[in-house]
Structure 1
Amino acid sequence: MSYPFADVSGAPVADLISLKGRRAVVTGGVQGLGRAIAERLAEAGADVALADLDEGRAAEEAGALARRHGVRAVGVRMDVTDATSVADAGEKVLGSLGGVDIWVNNAGIFPSSPLLEMDDEEWDRVFAVNARGVRNGTREAARRMADGGVVINVVSTAGFRGVAPGLSAYVGSKHAVRGMTRQLALELAPRGIRVLGVAPSYVPTEGNRAAAVAALEKRGAQGADAPGAPAAMSQSLIGRVGTPDDIARVVLFCATDLSLIMTGSTLLADAGETI
């Protein structure tokens, strides 16, 4: 069986890092990590589709991205839990950008509920967004990557270990995504598609701050102390909390030919927290 991955050993660094002519989709792309990732991909020359539940904001952010970097950028509505929604968004991207070469499964949720209090609906919702969403996105990406490409899953350090009380669904879903990254890399290699994961530690994005506040309020109402989310970075070996752009640069590496030899791996972007 022929595996269509080129040897780019003789290419200059500028060519290896360039994404000019490639088309990228970033789910959950209007804020936080997704927004930072889209910015770096566009800076490297990729045309970008921002996929999000908020179509209006996605279109607005896409317009700003296009003006800053001189690339094509579009906003599309996507509910990653709904296979039809993901497929429809994929078709819109195909129509607007002409293809898909890079797909970043970034959309995720981070609720906190103790196991004994979490109902089935909340558990299922976490897995629907964080795990099924990756399956849905990867499948639609693969169907549209006519000449191969790369899928990048935003995992978490929670995909490598337990984190804190109340996060059983989140930790379980992220372990699932890490396993899917390996399995999907195996299945999609013959199609010329690489699959990589990037596992950040806590980064203070809008979504993470809101989740941390909600968890603290919930635990406070129960009369129990809860660790603040910034404490998750207490093991940082670089002396600071990570930023969205710290993670976006690792995703950029995965998207470019600099990482062409890699597939199935999940890169820890955690400032040494999991050592």
Structure 2
Amino acid sequence: MPFPFADVSSSSLPDLLSLRGRRAVVTGAAQGLGRAIAVRLAEAGASVAIADLDESRAAAVARELTERFGVPAVGVGMDVTDAASITAATDIAVSALGGVDVWVNNAGIFPSAPLLDMSDDAWDQVFAVNTGGVRNGAREAVGRMLDGGVIINIASTAGFRGTAPGLSAYVSSKHAVRGLTKQLALELAPRGIRVLGVAPSYVPTEGNMAMAAAAMEAAGLDPSNMPSAMTQSLIGRTGVPDDIARVVLFCASDLAIIMTGSTLLADAGETI
């Protein structure tokens, strides 16, 4: 099979950015960062499957996208640690949308516990969601992308360095996501599938704030200082979910067609 990555130099900027006619699956998209990503993909014209453990909330987000942007959208219940759950949810998404062209592995967790206090089960669960979920999602996506596509893995600045005490499992899992992104890009290019990572710094979302507060308390820090403690932004503010969503949109679009295997830092200079 030839490498079907076209030269799009003659395309207009609106055409390069447009996702009209493409079908996207976003995991962990019922709230927070995943929801923001789904919103931008839908605004760019993509049909979107909102995949989440909370199926009712996912369905509500899907209805909102259709109302706002006039695109087909569907909410599906999905557990990214369960291959059967992923396949069943994707079957529903494909039935509703017609296929899959973009897959965003966004679902993740970061419970905090010192290494010596963390149980084997808790450690394994972090890897099951953060790394296994990426593997499971990518594997499902490949079987559905008959004409090529894009897989985008949400990593973290924690995939580039150590971070707060108590997050050894999280940091390790996100380093693994970066490695998996490189290897998937190598293996999937002949199928016409690009694979990219996006690595945000701390962004305040419902889930992130709750887990970050727990991590700070475990480290003996004051959760009320969370924004300043969790980021070292060089742009004068903490990032918001849409900051990351716009980077994901770039990766999904033909603006980034020359890119595969990279993990883009969306970190306001935090890791310099």
Q: TM-score, normalised by structure 2?
A: 0.97
Q: Structure 2: how far apart are the matches of 1:234 and 1:214?
A: 16
Native 8 Å contact 2:24 2:103 kept in 1: yes
Q: After superposition, what is the alpha-carbon deviation per residue over 1:86-140, rounded to whole angstroms, capped at 9, x for unaligned?
A: 1111111111111000000000001110001000011000000000000000000
- Give the match for residue 267 of structure 1: 264
Deviation for aligned residue 1:232: 4.5
Per the alignment, in what secondary structure is the counterpart of residue 274 of structure 1? coil
One-letter amino acid of the structure 1 residue matched with residue 268 of structure 2: A
Q: Structure 2: how far apart are the matches of 1:226 and 1:158?
A: 21
Alignment coverage as a number of residue pairs: 271
| Cα gap change, 1:232 to 1:268, in 2 (>3 Å) | farther
One-letter amino acid of the structure 2 residue matched with residue 130 of structure 1: N
Native 8 Å contact 1:202 1:229 kept in 2: no
Q: Structure 2: how far apart are the matches of 1:254 and 1:232?
A: 29
Aligned runs of 1:28-47 on 2, under 5 Å? 28-47=28-47
- Give the match for residue 228 of structure 2: 231
- Answering whether residue 253 of structure 2 is matched by residue 251 of structure 1, we say no
RMSD across aligned positions (CA): 1.2
Q: After superposition, what is the alpha-carbon deviation per residue over 1:8-33, rounded to whole angstroms, capped at 9, x for unaligned?
A: 11000010000000000000001110
Q: Structure 2: how far apart are the matches of 1:87 and 1:234?
A: 37
- Answering whether residue 114 of structure 2 is matched by residue 114 of structure 1, we say yes
Deviation for aligned residue 1:244: 0.1
Q: Structure 2: how far apart are the matches of 1:176 and 1:201?
A: 17
- Give the match for residue 209 of structure 1: 209
Q: Structure 1: how far apart are the matches of 2:221 and 2:266?
A: 28
| Cα gap change, 1:233 to 1:254, in 2 (>3 Å) | same
- Give the match for residue 18 of structure 1: 18
Q: Structure 2: how far apart are the matches of 1:232 and 1:260?
A: 36
Q: Structure 2: how far apart are the matches of 1:218 and 1:191?
A: 45
Aligned runs of 1:1-275 on 2, under 5 Å? 2-219=2-219, 224-225=220-221, 228-275=225-272
What 5-or-longer segments of structure 1 have no aligned partner?
Answer: none
One-letter amino acid of the structure 1 residue matched with residue 121 of structure 2: E
Per the alignment, in what secondary structure is the counterpart of residue 30 of structure 2? coil
Q: After superposition, what is the alpha-carbon deviation per residue over 1:53-89, rounded to whole angstroms, capped at 9, x for unaligned?
A: 0111111110011100000000001000001111111
Q: Structure 2: how far apart are the matches of 1:186 and 1:77?
A: 30
Native 8 Å contact 2:166 2:218 kept in 1: no
Q: Structure 2: how far apart are the matches of 1:158 and 1:213?
A: 17
Q: Share of identical aligned residues, percent?
A: 73
Native 8 Å contact 1:150 1:193 kept in 2: yes
Native 8 Å contact 1:233 1:273 kept in 2: no
Q: After superposition, what is the alpha-carbon deviation per residue over 1:212-234, rounded to whole angstroms, capped at 9, x for unaligned?
A: 22234445xxxx34675423554
Q: Structure 1: how far apart are the matches of 2:150 and 2:232?
A: 31
Per the alignment, in what secondary structure is the counterpart of residue 38 of structure 2? helix
One-letter amino acid of the structure 2 residue matched with residue 248 of structure 1: A
Q: Structure 2: how far apart are the matches of 1:136 and 1:148?
A: 18
Native 8 Å contact 2:202 2:231 kept in 1: no
| Cα gap change, 1:232 to 1:161, in 2 (>3 Å) | farther
